[in-house]
Chain A
Amino acid sequence: MWQNVFVLLASYLFYGWWDWRFLILIALTSALSYASGLLIERGRRRKTVMWSNIVLNLAILGVFKYYDFFAQSFANVFLDGNADNLLLKLVLPVGISFYTFQALSYSIDVYRGTVGATHNIVAFFAYVSFFPQLVAGPIEQASSLLPQFEKTRTFDYKVAVDGLRQMLWGLFKKMIVADTCALYVDRVYAMPDAYGGPTLVMAAVLFAVQIYGDFSGYSDVAIGTSKLFGIRLRRNFNVPYFSRDIAEFWRRWHISLTSWFRDYVYIPMGGSRVGRWRIVLNTFVIFLLSGFWHGANWTFLAWGAFHALLFLPLILLGKNRRYRDTVAENRHLPTAIDFGRILLTFSLVTVGWVLFRSPSIGFAAHYISLMFGKGSAIVPWGGDYTILLPAVAAMFCVEWLNRRCGHEFERQCRYMVVRWLGYSAIIFVIVAWMQTNEMPFIYFQF
Chain B
Amino acid sequence: MKRFILHIALFLLSSSLATALLLWSFGGTGHLRNVTYTLGGADFLYTKAREVREHSGMDVLFLGSSHAYRTFDPRIFDRYGINTFNLGSSNQSLLQTEVLLGMIDTLKPRLVVLEVHPDIVAIDGVEASIYQVCNVEPSWRMVPMVLRTKNMKVYCTAVYALLHNSFSSSFKHFTESESGGNRYAGRGFVERDVEHFTPTPVPADTIRMRGDQLSALRRCVSILRKREVPYILLEVPDTKVQTAAYINLGEFHTTMKQYGDFYYIPMDELDDSLHFYDVTHLNQDGVALYDEFIYDTLIKKALKGVR
Contact = CB atoms under 8 A, between A and B. Distances in A.
Interface of A: 155, 157, 160-161, 164, 384, 386-387, 420-421, 423-424, 427-428, 431-434, 436
Given A161-B4, A433-B32, A424 B18 contact: yes
B15 interface: yes
Nearest to B18: A424
B11 to A, nearest CB: 6
B45 interface: no
B14 A428 contact: no
Interface string B107-137: 0000000000000000000100000000000
A428 B22 CA distance: 7
Interface of B: 1, 3-4, 7-8, 11, 14-15, 18-19, 22-23, 26, 31-35, 126, 151-153, 155-156
B210 to A, nearest CB: 16
A421 B14 CA distance: 9
A433 B152 CA distance: 9
A86 B34 CA distance: 47
B33 A428 contact: no
B14 A420 contact: yes
A328 B41 CA distance: 57
A157 B19 contact: no
A101 B233 CA distance: 57
A387 B31 CA distance: 9
Contacts of B15: 420, 423-424, 427
A423 B34 contact: no
A145 B186 CA distance: 70
Given A155-B1, A157-B4, A436 B19 contact: no
Given A420-B14, A436-B151, A431 B33 contact: no
B33 A433 contact: yes
A160 B4 CA distance: 8
A436 to B, nearest CB: 5
B41 to A, nearest CB: 21
Shortest Cβ-Cβ A-B pairs, 9 listed? A424-B18, A432-B32, A424-B15, A433-B33, A428-B22, A436-B153, A384-B33, A428-B19, A155-B1
Contact of A423 (B1, B4, B11): B11
A155 B4 CA distance: 10
Identify the interface centre among A155, A387, A427: most chain B CB within 10 Å of its CB: A427
A67 B23 CA distance: 51
A436 B127 CA distance: 12
Contacts of A427: 15, 19
Given A421-B18, A428-B22, A436-B34, 7 more contacts: A420-B15, A424-B15, A424-B19, A428-B18, A431-B19, A431-B23, A434-B152
B18 A431 contact: no
Nearest to B26: A432
B38 to A, nearest CB: 16
A423 B1 CA distance: 21
Nearest to A432: B32
A432 B4 contact: no
A424 B23 contact: no
12 contacts: A155-B4, A157-B4, A387-B33, A420-B11, A424-B15, A424-B18, A431-B19, A431-B34, A432-B32, A432-B156, A433-B34, A434-B34
Contacts of B1: 155, 157
Nearest to B155: A431
B153 to A, nearest CB: 5
Nearest to B11: A420
Contacts of B153: 436
B108 to A, nearest CB: 38
A432 B151 contact: no
B6 to A, nearest CB: 11
A427 B8 CA distance: 14
A259 to B, nearest CB: 32
Contacts of B34: 431-434, 436
A384 B11 CA distance: 30
Contacts of A436: 34, 126, 151-153
A424 B17 CA distance: 9
B150 to A, nearest CB: 9
A349 B15 CA distance: 38
Contacts of A160: 4
A164 B12 CA distance: 12
Nearest to A175: B152
Nearest to A155: B1
Contacts of A433: 32-34
Identify the interface centre among B22, B32, B33, B155: most chain A CB within 10 Å of its CB: B33
Nearest to B1: A155
Contacts of A387: 33
